[in-house]
A and B are shown apart, each in its own frame.
Chain A
Amino acid sequence: MADRGDELAASIRDAAESGQRLVVRGSGSKPWLTATCEGEVLSVAGHTGVMDYRPEELVLTARAGTALDEIEAVLAENGQHLAFEPPRIGGGGTLGGAVAAGLSGPGRPWRGSVRDAVLGVTMINGYGEMLAFGGQVMKNVAGYDVSRLQAGAYGTLGVLLSVSVRVQPSPECERTLHFEQDAPEALATMRDWARLPWPVSATLHERQTLSVRLSGSHAGVAGAVAELGGECSDDLSLWDQLRDRGHRLFGGPVLWRASYPPAAPLQGDECAMEWGGAQRWYRSDVSEHVRAQRGWMRRADAPGQLPGGTYSARIKKAFDPQGVLNASLNAHTGDGEASDAH
């Protein structure tokens, strides 16, 4: 439990003055994201502690260096959880890192993303100024939404000092259903179920099996189990493995992640599908197919690249004009080469 805010701000101001580059690090659980960054490591480790948590407000505020484990333990004591299920790779990970990386877990389509859960941040921009945006309330439209902009920005716009997130009551009951289905069948099943109010909270298709997580009240889940059929289990470890990249999928050779409209046709070489079809994993680069379906793809262990483009570059400048923070993640294409869109 320590507040290192002033010290971190001073480091950034010094770096900005001396033209130095900094690499922002939380607990170092996702090192590939900043693998291409040069500069001195600015570690947020030690800047820790849950600052405010009142279960009835459904909001938790913690310093950015607080371990996800610690946060989830505090929440669990009160029957609540982080609905966006950020990965805890190798058991590690901090709240700030989770937001900066912008990675959401297997429940993404039903429970929302990291950015959906962000309510407010305090941060230090590249000028070394300490700033607060958003807040601790559910609804807030005062000023531009700079706090949600930090989700998935890989720390290139500022060092997060604290984050307020919306938390949710943990479901009363969860089950896993397994169905033997090939990929086309599974895609059709997921598409059909998306239009119906089943208490689905995660899906995985892999090796001819469609697995579905159901979450909700006892009555709701029991009803769905009875209607949907399949092989029912109360083993939920599959979903934690997926979430934390401990699943065998992540153990093999090169892995590519693609994001699609959920019902996009299959390419054929999928090795797994999640998110009702909206997230698919491949062993090779199939960008052509993905682009044709209006999706995008990247290697699972790729650095946190921010595509170039006029507006992207200008946003970086607006927060960090000297390029102090994780600067090499910003692809600096010149004006006119607009790849802000995809």
Chain B
Amino acid sequence: MSRSLVLQQLKSILPPASLITDAAAKRPYETDGLTALREQPWVVVLPETEAQVAQVLRICAACEVPVVARGAGTGLSGGARPVSDGVVLGLSKMNRILEIDIDNCVARLQPGVRNLAVTEAAAEYGLYYAPDPSSQIACSIGGNVAENAGGVHCLKYGLTVHNVVGLKLLTVEGEVLELGGKGLDAPGYDLLAVLCGSEGMLGIVTEVVVRLLPDPAARLVMLAAFADTELASAAVNETIKAGVIPAGMEMMDRLAVQAAEDFAHAGYPRGAGAILLIELDGTAAELAALEAEVTAVVRAAGAFSVDVARDAQQQAIMWKGRKSAFPAVGRIAPDYYCMDGTIPRRRLGEVLGEINLLSREYGLEVANVFHAGDGNLHPLILYDANVPGELARVEEMGGRILERCVEVGGTVTGEHGVGVEKLDQMCVQFTEAELRQFERLKAVFDPAGVLNPGKAIPTLSRCAELGGMHVHRGELPFRNLDRF
């Protein structure tokens, strides 16, 4: 069937405002949060109902037109980046909170609901949704599922996969799978776990049921300042060793602290080489004991100052610097590239030191602001996209950081996903047999490869080629060819 026929069919099932073909109107959909990569999609569709999503899938699948799902487009690995001959399936119009069920402590959501909107809607019942990515004012719950998003509170309360109990999935073959529900388990293979973090490769999520947790009785946020990241890293490890699982434990290095302070005026100590933001929660009596314990631990680890925010307003200010750290860093350089490796916590100090050396070797500044309690690094490499060749050097340096993460026993992505960005590093992390197993799993749901082609899992031939390339790291042949 010709493209014009496909377009005609899409027109017949969608309201006019839900079909975008005009080049200017398609522009916002050219990229996600990884703005270095852009592509004009063939068509953008913004369905309003599950039935429309199903029809779009049916039409596209029949003609093998690629379909790229898109939530809010805040992803940082190019997962929602369009393909030029494909459809972008935006879920932003399906943004209704279908139900807040306080008897079962769950919320039933359409995929386009913003993350923060869930907690806002649950707040009047004293409940909240725990996973809180820093992008939570914008990112969608469907995108959170697709990336298995994390946040500041994941060390204690888990990732998206731990807080989603049910999903409705539309398969490319037009079937509706209801996985889980409001209970705690379901018979059969745990497809819900597989769907979390599947990057829009297996099906379209059209409904999400999430668990809501009771607000803690009391909480406090502690800001501990250190001379350098090595000391702060040791403090992270000592805290966990003491048997404390903080509700959140985030680190920012000198550059990140300065940028955030200029931007958000959160009162961070400018002279600090690193700070830790530690959130503790529990009953009031519990909190007093915890505060004393953690204060002693971080002091012993070398903190030169410890401040505590006790009321909600002070806490919001203290968190503001952290939550706005990405845009803050965005102001001190024309562009930045965000990495996302995870490493064993005990290697934090060492790997941060190595990143610092790489930064000098490449002459590229790095700001670190990340989920220290989880060992989830976010080096932000500062650069200027207008300088020819600079992006390529950034990617190379980023690649070396991720390969180091794998070497020390970690992973190339903790929460942002592989997308198009880390396909090469996937070849480093997985063997050929493992990649083939991924391919077979993909084929269970989408044998023709209609959904999000070219993302998340590298082809074997790509890895084979790269295997040869790796011998001369940094001297990739065909440097100018589009590597994505």
* Chain A interface residues (CB < 8 Å from chain B): 54-59, 79, 102, 108-109, 112-113, 115-116, 125, 129-133, 135-146, 148-149, 151-153, 157, 168-169, 172, 191, 194-197, 199, 216-220, 222-224, 259-263, 275, 278-279, 294-296, 298, 305-307, 309-312, 314-315, 317-319, 338, 340-342
| Contact assessment for B283 and A220 in the assembled complex, using a CB-CB cutoff below 8 Å | yes
Judge if B98 is at the interface, Cβ distance under 8 Å: no
The CB with the most chain A CB atoms within 10 A, among B127, B184, B345, is that of B184
| Contact assessment for B189 and A132 in the assembled complex, using a CB-CB cutoff below 8 Å | no
| Contact assessment for A140 and B161 in the assembled complex, using a CB-CB cutoff below 8 Å | no
Q: How far is the CB of A55 from chain B (nearest CB, A)?
A: 7
| Contact assessment for A143 and B438 in the assembled complex, using a CB-CB cutoff below 8 Å | yes
Docked pose: A261 CA to B211 CA in angstroms: 11
Contacts of A318 in B (CB 8 A): 437, 440-441, 443-444
| Contact assessment for A306 and B189 in the assembled complex, using a CB-CB cutoff below 8 Å | yes
Q: How far is the CB of B232 from chain A (nearest CB, A)?
A: 15
Judge if B410 is at the interface, Cβ distance under 8 Å: yes
Judge if B289 is at the interface, Cβ distance under 8 Å: yes
Q: How far is the CB of A129 from chain B (nearest CB, A)?
A: 4
Q: How far is the CB of B99 from chain A (nearest CB, A)?
A: 12
| Contact assessment for B148 and A216 in the assembled complex, using a CB-CB cutoff below 8 Å | no
Q: How far is the CB of B445 from chain A (nearest CB, A)?
A: 7
Contacts of B184 in A (CB 8 A): 108-109, 113, 259, 262, 275, 278-279
| Contacts A113-B185, A131-B433, A149-B194; A137 near B444 (Cβ below 8 A) | no
Interface-side segment among B62-70, B152-160, B264-272: B152-160
Q: How far is the CB of A67 from chain B (nearest CB, A)?
A: 25
| Contact assessment for B186 and A296 in the assembled complex, using a CB-CB cutoff below 8 Å | yes
Which residues 353-386 of B sit at the A interface, judged by CB distance below 8 A? 371, 374-376
| Contacts A139-B159, A216-B286, A311-B191; A195 near B437 (Cβ below 8 A) | no
Instruction: Please give 18 more A-B residue pairs, beta carbons under 8 A apart, in addition to A125-B437, A148-B193, A157-B189.
Output: A79-B243, A138-B154, A141-B147, A142-B411, A142-B418, A142-B422, A144-B438, A168-B245, A195-B125, A196-B214, A219-B283, A260-B183, A275-B184, A294-B183, A295-B181, A309-B188, A310-B175, A311-B171
Question: A222 — nearest CB in chain B belongs to which residue?
Answer: B285
Q: Identify the 3 closest CB pairs spanning chains A and B, nearest first.
A: A261-B182, A148-B193, A263-B103
Which residues 421-450 of B sit at the A interface, judged by CB distance below 8 A? 422, 426, 429-431, 433-434, 437-438, 440-445
Contact of B102 among A55, A195, A218 (CB under 8 A): A195
Which residues 94-140 of B sit at the A interface, judged by CB distance below 8 A? 101-106, 125-127
Contact of A141 among B102, B186, B418 (CB under 8 A): B418
| Contact assessment for B414 and A139 in the assembled complex, using a CB-CB cutoff below 8 Å | yes
CB within 8 Å: A-B pair count: 255
Judge if B73 is at the interface, Cβ distance under 8 Å: no
Judge if B415 is at the interface, Cβ distance under 8 Å: yes
Question: B148 — nearest CB in chain A belongs to which residue?
Answer: A141
Question: A133 — nearest CB in chain B belongs to which residue?
Answer: B434
Size category of the B interface is 35 or more
Question: What are 21 residue pairs bridging A and B, where the CB atoms are less than 8 Å apart in the complex?
Answer: A57-B344, A57-B346, A136-B344, A137-B343, A139-B411, A139-B415, A145-B148, A146-B441, A148-B194, A151-B190, A152-B190, A153-B189, A169-B245, A195-B102, A197-B216, A224-B283, A262-B104, A305-B187, A311-B177, A315-B189, A319-B437
| Contact assessment for B126 and A196 in the assembled complex, using a CB-CB cutoff below 8 Å | yes
The CB with the most chain B CB atoms within 10 A, among A217, A224, A259, A305, is that of A217
Question: A336 — nearest CB in chain B belongs to which residue?
Answer: B175
Judge if B178 is at the interface, Cβ distance under 8 Å: yes
Judge if B196 is at the interface, Cβ distance under 8 Å: yes
| Contact assessment for B183 and A58 in the assembled complex, using a CB-CB cutoff below 8 Å | no
Contacts of A140 in B (CB 8 A): 342, 411, 413-414
Contact of A220 among B126, B158, B282, B433 (CB under 8 A): B282
Q: How far is the CB of A340 from chain B (nearest CB, A)?
A: 5
Contacts of B198 in A (CB 8 A): 144-145
Docked pose: A224 CA to B283 CA in angstroms: 9
Docked pose: A131 CA to B384 CA in angstroms: 41
Question: A156 — nearest CB in chain B belongs to which residue?
Answer: B189
Contacts of B445 in A (CB 8 A): 311
| Contact assessment for A306 and B437 in the assembled complex, using a CB-CB cutoff below 8 Å | no
Contacts of A153 in B (CB 8 A): 189-190
Question: A216 — nearest CB in chain B belongs to which residue?
Answer: B286
Question: B429 — nearest CB in chain A belongs to which residue?
Answer: A142
| Contact assessment for A145 and B197 in the assembled complex, using a CB-CB cutoff below 8 Å | yes
Contacts of A216 in B (CB 8 A): 282, 286
| Contact assessment for B413 and A141 in the assembled complex, using a CB-CB cutoff below 8 Å | yes
Judge if B43 is at the interface, Cβ distance under 8 Å: no
Contacts of A55 in B (CB 8 A): 241
Which residues 444-481 of B sit at the A interface, judged by CB distance below 8 A? 444-445, 456-457
Contact of A143 among B104, B371, B418 (CB under 8 A): B418
